[in-house]
Structure 1
Amino acid sequence: HDRHLDPCAAAPVVGPCKGTFPRWYYDQNVGECKHFLYGGCQGNHNNFLQELDCVSECIQKSESPPYIHFD
């Protein structure tokens, strides 16, 4: 992972605007997606509309692919 391009590695950015948009971000310290309120502008890419979006981008991608055994 390139830390500069990986949205999951960035801290969530609320931004300077005054909106209160419920969003999800990945907290790499605990390895899970958490809820936060986004202001509506100048955020970053660690900002997901739904928890599932965050999980699929940041948790499922980081896990190794399943081992498939052929008999």
Structure 2
Amino acid sequence: MGQIHNEQTKLLATGLNNVAVAFVVIGGVTPVTALSFGVASAPSLNLGTVAFALIWFCTGLCLH
């Protein structure tokens, strides 16, 4: 069971890391990129937008 268990643990860790990266990209990188490029449908920069990005970033950080 040793090698099988180790590989399953590594796969689970990789999957959680990929989810964490997706959370950071969706919540942090995408709004900042949209604002910097001036996308018409980008949210305006206010406290709610910053809080939204911070929550997604912190969630990704916790998963990582």
Query: What is the TM-score of this pair, normalised by structure 2?
Result: 0.32
Give the helix-richer structure, 1 or 2: 2
Query: What is the TM-score of this pair, normalised by structure 1?
Result: 0.30
Q: Which has the higher contact order (CA 8 A, sep 6+)?
A: 2
